[in-house]
Structure formats: C-alpha cells, structure tokens
Structure 1
C-alpha cells in the first residue's frame, strides 16, 4: 500500500507513484549519508551516518568517534521505517537538511555511551557528483549507485569523556560528506543464492580533500594486477569563485603501510585534470575511525540494513591502542589526513582498502 509523505507535496516526482517506496523491489536498494568531521591535529575524528532501506522496511544510524587516536566510542541504532518513512530520526540520532546542497544539521542526543553532538555543516564548495557506479555479475546488477561529495566546515559541540568541546567559526571543524542512493553491495546475507566470487586481490581508495582555494575528490577500484575497474574524480572551487569543476582524467597512487596492518602510514596521489595539469598530493594520516564497527560489515550482530526489530540501540567503547583490538576491527577505516600540494596545505578524509594479493605493495595473498 502506498502512503503519502511530506515529500509528495513537492513538484519533483520521477515515477507515477509516491515517495514512500522506490521503483525496484531489490532489497539491496539503499540511501545513505555519511559525514566525516575532524580537526587538524588528530584529536577528534567523527564518522557518522544514516541509511534508509525501503525494501527492508529499515532505517539505521551510527556514530564512530575517536578521541586522541586511542579511544573509539560507537553508538548504533535501528528502527522500523514505516509508519514514519519521512522522518530522518533513528533513536537518539537526527539529520536535517536546512539548505539543500549546502547546509545540514546532524545530532546525537543522550545515550548510555556518554557521547553526544549537535553540529551544523556548511559547504564551502559545490557538491561533486561522482561517475555512476554500475557493476553487473552473472547477469545480475549488484551495484547501481549515484553519489555526491561535498567539503565544508561545521560548528556546534561534541561531548565525550566527560568534557564539552565547542566549535565556532574561529575553530570550525573540517567536514567531508557523502550522499549515495541506489542498489549497492550490502552486508546482509541472502540464503539460497550462488555465492559471489572472491577476487585474488583488490584495491579500493576514495578521498575527499579541501585546500583554502580548491578541493578534490577521487574514487578508484583495482584488481591485484592493477586493472582499473572504476575511476572517477573532480577538482572543484569555492562557491564565490564561480569557477567550473574540472573532471579528473587520470589518477596514480603510491602508499606506504604499517608492517603489521594494511593501514597507510603515508601516501601520494597524482590527479591529472581535464586541463592537463598534474596535481601531486602528499598524504599524512592524522586520526581514524574503524567504521566496520558502525555497521559497514557485520560486527557484534549488527550490519547496515539488518532487521533489528521495531526499535533497537546499542553502543560500546574500543581501545584502539591495543594491537589486538585494532587488528580485529580495522578494515574499512575513515582516516582524516593532512594533504599537501606544493606549498598548499589542506585537510580531508581517506578510505583505503587492500585485500588479498597486490604485488605492487608487497602483498602476495590474504
């Protein structure tokens, strides 16, 4: 049965139906936002997000806050989507668009973990629309996703470890946000279907960064022999500049890793724009959050999109200074970084995953 929501009031319908459901019945249909919020010293790194799974009747949210590079606080919540499909509220989490494509408010209220925040993001540069991600395996579409990224600053407050931290325009936090929707590979398993292939090796890297007068984003996926499966990127400029975004036509990378974990200790990427200019960017990691624990992969019986009942919430704290703990939770990590290009210094977020065989970086298998 269809249900009218507030979104049906707007003149923006794309199909002959209501906004409470999508055109496909694929359970993998997902709409998700993730926001990375950090300072420039490595003291704070917050990765938080919210997802809607209309064909699972689920909406969920998470926050992974790392303080001083040692302690990661995790809060996760899930609820039945209907009969409130147009409310972006899940347990103590809330998300609000106050100015489309420029300003959003995101908050975590009281919860047993003792962390909370109320932050307002304002974009400094226009949204960067990534190339569409489309993959078909054995005749079935396994990924068909639209995604945009944006950089800016956030003001507000964070409470953690019994302390209140306030941020205004003088000490505003750096923010990189990502909004995606479509059919995507999810962690919820499906019984009775042919299992997918496990690649011999794979590299995935995504980064969004902001310098004082420009910003950049890239997204690449490669097989173990460095065959490029996907490549997208852009170079963009502040709103007031009126400059048009440049598409990135070439991306090269060179990362160095810890001896005990496949976590980057430094790196360099070269972005070649459609203007023919190569921008060499050096990367220095500052802090990170292990978002596996937030639901990107199954952890403590929760993964994004899983039915957890009409209302559900949990949370825990991790000691990332303990090598055994870090080894258990590190895989898809969001890392806030310092980026240098010539004399310019910027900040942003990096995702880097290398699995299985990847000889270029010295890895011969899983």
Structure 2
C-alpha cells in the first residue's frame, strides 16, 4: 500500500513505507516535546505516536501549573497515510523538518486547547541506541534525537489562558522510534519472570550560551549500562543554526556520576548534583534545584487508562485532572516524573528538567523493594 512518503527517496526496504521492517507488535514512532518557564511556574509536555503494527495513533498534552495537572488525550485508528499527524482536534504541523513545529488543539469538549510554536535554538543530535532484552526477546531497541528550542503561543484550560512567551520559555523536541513496550501486555507463551527493574535519569539544560544533556540507564546495583552526554552551542535565530552538524558540539563518552537527595517517602529528587565525564579527562559538575513536578502519566506513560498504544476505539478524546499534593508518590503510575530545575555550573545558571523513573530495588539510594520511598 502506497503513501505520500513513497514519493521521497527514503526507502530502507523493498516495501512501501507504510510496511515496517519489523513485524514486532511494539514498533513505534514518537514525537515528544516539553516546555516550561525559567521560574517553574508552568510545565507542559506533548506527545504523538504512531504504532504501525497495532494500527493505532495516540496523543496527549499535559500541563502543570498552580499545583494542578491537567491532561488532554486522544486516540484513533491510524490512517493509511503516515504523514497524517492529526487525532481528532489535535494537529501536529512540521513547518520545517528539524526546524519549526506547530501544535494545535482545536475547541473540544475537554476545555483544553492550544496553539503553540516550537523554534529550535540548536542543531538536532542523536543519542546512543538503547537496546535491552529479556530472556527471550528484545524489549527495547530505539533511536532518539533531541533538539533544544523555545516556545510561544497559548494554552487554554479550565476556563483560563496561559500565555507562553518565547523570551522566558525553554523546551526540547524529542523524536524516537524503534521498539518499546506499548499496547496491552503480551501474555502468550511460557510465563516470563515478571520482575522488571528500571532506573533512568535524563537532564537536558539550557545555559547562557549553550545547552547540555546528560542521560543514563542503570541496573539495580548502580551499574550504568547506557549514558549520553552532549554539549551544544545555541543560536538566537534559526537561520544561524548550521544545518545538521555543528563543529562546536561535543559528544562526551564516559560515566555520568550523580548524588541525589530525595524527598522522604518518595523517589523524587529534592536536590542533588550530576557530573558529566569525558573519557579524555574533562568533567562538568552540575547542581540542580527542583522547582516543579510533572507526572509523566499525563503523557500516557504508565497511565492505567490512556497508556501508549492501547485500543480506545475508532476515535476517543478525553481529559484528566489531578491535584499534585493528592497523588500517591509511590503508586506505579506516579513514579515517572519530570521536574523543572534550576541548575548551576560554576558561575553559570541553567534551566531545564530532571527526568526520573526509579522502579524496583536500587542499591545506590537504599531502595530495597519496588515501591518503597526514600528513608532519610
């Protein structure tokens, strides 16, 4: 079956592009964004994903401000056109590839709508491939690209309007594709060990004249099996960004050290430091101060109703609303968070997010069970 994308010289297999190279049910192709101000007054996240082997496309917008979180969700049967980036009232527009993107949510019954423009301030860069498996098959095999930028526009919610000013906003575009657990859990075959441990941290930051990213996956004993570290120059105007590569960028190879202090009874950082290390001896120590917490279930992660790739019907639109201080911090669906942070490195001050997902035992910080909180 042909699509508009087949008119471009981008084929990787003899099949039309609508047919994936892998028949794995967990194949996915996701757009993901975040945005926040520098004072931690608001945070929003955006996600849209197509699951070609499930025939589903879903999306979300999640906003935290004034101690509350609200989330718009929509899901539908995928169209036969992969370039169709709409789900009901939700529309993602790629105005320029690796450049400006626009997100629009038209009027709908949830009361959540928006018109937002993302403008990049750095080149895009590719993280290291992330691959894990269980006793029988691949669990995750994904590529991710990231690009820093800023936002402008407005979000309407709960009868209010939040204006997003490009002069005070920070943001990130995150594109990933490959294989990750999506849809309903697979229960076929002989039972596998249900024990799953996940320890992930990710720290993208905007500084005065550059952006940095440090990310890592670790096992329960603290062994770091994956890390990403990059330093990128920033540009005030998109026309100044030097295409797809930048001679001023640095991709470090080494371990990311971390020393975190957690909020008692939770798995959320209340302060800490992370140190980027290059194998050639360079290092960069960054302290972080969390300002605002966003629960990733607002974007479908571990969401019991709106989880990624779940069949909701031909088209379904809905919304959720939470008060942050009423959420159980140790419930499975609430473990995965991004915290808006103020960062310091020497005399420089930065702004960004610290993403954390700590599930299962974790020796470095004394977690012994799956959902126990930090004991001071």
Q: Report the TM-score, using the length of structure 1 for normalisation.
A: 0.92
| Deviation beyond 4 Å, 4+ runs, structure 1 | 198-202, 323-329
Matched residues in 1 for 2:194 and 2:232: separation? 36
- Please tell me whether residue 175 in structure 1 is matched to residue 164 in structure 2: no
Provide Cα deviations, 1:154-178, integer angstroms capped at 9, x if missing partner: 111122332323334434x211121
Contact preservation (8 Å) 1:36, 1:349? no
Distance 2:201 2:82 in 1: 33
8 Å CA contact 2:275, 2:285 repeated in 1? yes
- Distance in 2 (CA, whole Å) between partners of 1:157 and 1:104 is 15
Partner of 1:95: 92
1:115-136 per-residue CA deviation (whole Å, 9 max, x = no partner) reads 2221111111111210011223
**Which string of whole-angstrom CA distances, capped at 9 and with x for unpartnered residues, describes residues 68-88 of structure 1?**
2x1111111100102443210
Q: 1:23 to 1:201 in 2, by over 3 A?
A: closer
SS, match of residue 325 in structure 2: coil
SS of equivalent to 1:336? strand
1:245 is aligned to 2:250: yes
* Paired residues of 1:114 and 1:162 also in contact (CA < 8 A): yes
Q: Where does residue 341 of structure 1 map in the other structure?
A: 345
Alignment partner of 1:308 out of 297, 308, 312: 312
1:233 paired residue among 229, 234, 244: 229
Shift in CA distance, 196/166, structure 1 to aligned 2, threshold 3 Å: same
Runs (5+) with no aligned partner, structure 1: none
Which residue of 44, 54, 57 corresponds with 1:56? Answer: 54
| 1:15-34 equivalence runs, <5 A | 15-34=13-32
Say if 1:195 and 1:91 are closer, same or farther in 2 by CA, change over 3 A.
farther
Residue 186 of structure 2, aligned match among 169, 172, 190:
190
Cα distance in 2 for residues equivalent to 1:265 and 1:305:
32
Answer yes or no: is 1:279 the counterpart of 2:284.
yes
**Which digits, 9 at most, give the CA deviation of each residue in 1:70-121, with x for residues without a partner?**
1111111100102443210012211111121122111222223322221111
In the TM superposition, what whole-angstrom CA distance separates every residue of 1:128-157 from its partner, at most 9, and x where no partner exists? 210011223324222111101111101111
C-alpha root-mean-square deviation of aligned residues, in Å? 2.1
In structure 1, what is the Cα distance between the partners aligned to 2:230 and 2:256?
11
95, 107, 112: which one pairs with 1:110?
107
5 Å-filtered alignment, 1:64-143, equals 64-68=62-66, 70-143=67-140
Note the residue ranges of structure 2 that are not aligned, 5 or more in a row: 235-240, 371-376
Does the aligned pair in 1 maintain the 2:361–2:367 contact within 8 Å? Answer: yes
Q: Deviation per CA, 1:235-257: give whole Å up to 9, x if none.
A: 22223685133324221011111
Shift in CA distance, 327/55, structure 1 to aligned 2, threshold 3 Å: closer
Q: Report the count of equivalent residues.
A: 361
Q: Deviations over 1:42-90 (max 9, x none)?
A: 211101100000000000001111112x111111110010244321001
1:181-204 CA distances to partner (integer Å, 9 max, x unpaired)? 001123521122344435585421
* C-alpha distance in structure 1 between counterparts of 2:262 and 2:182, whole Å: 27
Query: What's the secondary structure of 1:7's corresponding residue?
Result: helix
1:288 alignment partner in structure 2 = 293
- 2-structure distance, mates of 1:329, 1:200: 15
Of 264-273 and 350-359, deviating more is 350-359
Aligned twin of 1:297: 302
The equivalent residue for 2:358 is 354
> Are positions 1:216 and 2:220 aligned together?
no
Determine the C-alpha separation between the residues in 2 that align with 1:197 and 1:293: 28
Shift of residue 356, structure 1, vs aligned partner: 2.4
Structure 2 CA distance for aligned equivalents of residues 249 and 328 of structure 1? 31
